[in-house]
Amino acid sequence: MDAVNIAELSGNIAVVGYGLAAIGPGIGVGLVVSKTIESIARQPELAGRLQVTMWLGIAFTEALALIGLATPFIFV
Amino acid sequence: MLSALSLFKAEDGEFSPPSIFEFYPEIVAFADTPFAINRIMMIRLIVMVLLIVIFWLWTAKFNKAVKTGNVVPGRFQLLGELALNFVRKSIAHDQLGEKDGERFLPLLTTIFFMVFGMNITGVIPFANIAGTSVIGIPLVLAGVAYVTFIYAGTKKHGIRFFKNSLFPSGVPKPFYILVTPIELLSTFILRPVTLALRLLMNMIAGHLLLVLCFSATQFFFFQADGLMSLFGVGTLLFGFAFTLFEILVSVLQAYVFTLLTTVYIQLALADEH
């Protein structure tokens, strides 16, 4: 008698991998933005410069998540 | 694949999720030659022509305004002044200072408007795919940025540029075993790679999300039966929201690409302490 498979999952394990890859950058971007908001609240006159730095920080952090997105295409 | 969505499969229609083959449309002209043109390439060429025409019109307007002494700009001219001033003041001058900012301004302006123009086609109806969603343009632009910041560094510091960036001062000698490979990797390999990948992957992910939303909407409205078609309203709203988000992303990516190029040039120009 065959075992009845009541909870079959089908799909690609790379999806889980990408989910894991998105955790770190997600936390990172959150930290960058929260600290920027905090700093702007402390010194509103620096808002412009802080925002530029924030975008830079986000761009660097986010690159990790995007590399995670790129890897399945490279290492199939 | 996509088991959650395949639960909603109706008898006749099949839901077709978007795949990476979205980015390999069929060739429309010059097949079997090195100049084969597909939809994406055609969009790029159209954007190029449009950019040239817009800039030509802008410069004509600016020249006329200077000649006639008419300081009140029209709507079209104002848009041009705002956009060009944004790159000039808040990117070039802020990061590089007046002198070096003016030196690299033509390149930065080109990068900004090229990236923006190629990105925005991702949400323009009937184009619907970004010119930057295939590696070609991001790679070329990243290559240009790479060559430029190395040029800026070597022009100012000569061979010391490489010494400064590979062997940063203030580090105890034995630590160079650890620091130098990391600096080599991050400065000369990861910088151009992440520049290209950041732009490309943002555009690919954005396009896939939009296709997913709208093909799901089409499926729910026209192929699913009964109450299931109500899901279509949700996916349609999601698709609309993501369209707005994509407009934001295309401006933001143009800004980030230009800003990073500027920062890399600035780091190359900076004097080592």
How many A/B residue pairs have CB atoms within 8 Å? Answer: 45
Q: Select the residue of B197, B252, B259 nearest A52 (Cβ to Cβ).
A: B259
- The amino acid occupying position A69 is L
Cross-chain CB nearest to A10 (options B1, B20, B260): B1
pLDDT for the residue numbered B9: 47
Q: Is a pLDDT exceeding 70 seen at residue B164? A: yes
> Are B133 and B200 contacting, i.e. CB atoms less than 8 angstroms apart?
yes
Tell me how many helices (H) and strands (E) chain A has: 2, 0
pLDDT value for B82:
93
Stretch B190-198: mean pLDDT, rounded?
92
Query: What is the pLDDT of chain B when averaged over all its residues?
Result: 88
- What was the pLDDT predicted at B248? 92
Instruction: List, for residues A19-75, the tens digit of each pLDDT value.
Output: 888 999 999 999 999 999 999 999 999 998 899 899 989 988 888 888 887 777 766
- Residue B243: alpha-carbon gap to chain centroid: 16
Q: Give the C-alpha separation, B228 to B240, whole Å.
A: 20
pLDDT of residue B252: 92
pLDDT, tens digit (0-9, with 9 covering 90-100), for B138-159: 999 999 999 999 999 999 998 8
pLDDT by residue (tens digit) across B1-26?
A: 344 444 444 444 667 777 888 888 88
Alpha-helical segments (H) within chain B: 3-6, 39-68, 75-85, 94-120, 136-157, 160-166, 176-183, 191-222, 231-269
Q: Residue B272 — very low, low, confident or very high, per pLDDT cuts 50/70/90? A: low
Are A55 and B94 a contacting pair at CB < 8 A? no
Backbone angles phi, psi at B29, to 5 degrees: -150, 155
Interfacial A residues in 14-73 facing B (CB < 8 Å): 48-49, 52, 55-56, 58-60, 62-63, 66-67, 69-70, 73
pLDDT number for residue B169? 84
Q: What mean pLDDT comes out for the span B217-239?
A: 86
Report ipTM (2 d.p.): 0.76
pTM above 0.90, yes or no: no
Least confidently predicted of A50-54, B20-24, B99-103, B210-214? B20-24
Give the residue among B119, B135, B144, B258 at the shortest CA–CA distance from B197. B135
Across the range B151-175, mean pLDDT stands at: 89
pLDDT at A76: 60
pLDDT score of B32: 81
* pLDDT at B36 (0 to 100): 86
**Using 50, 70 and 90 to split pLDDT, how confident is the model at B253?**
very high
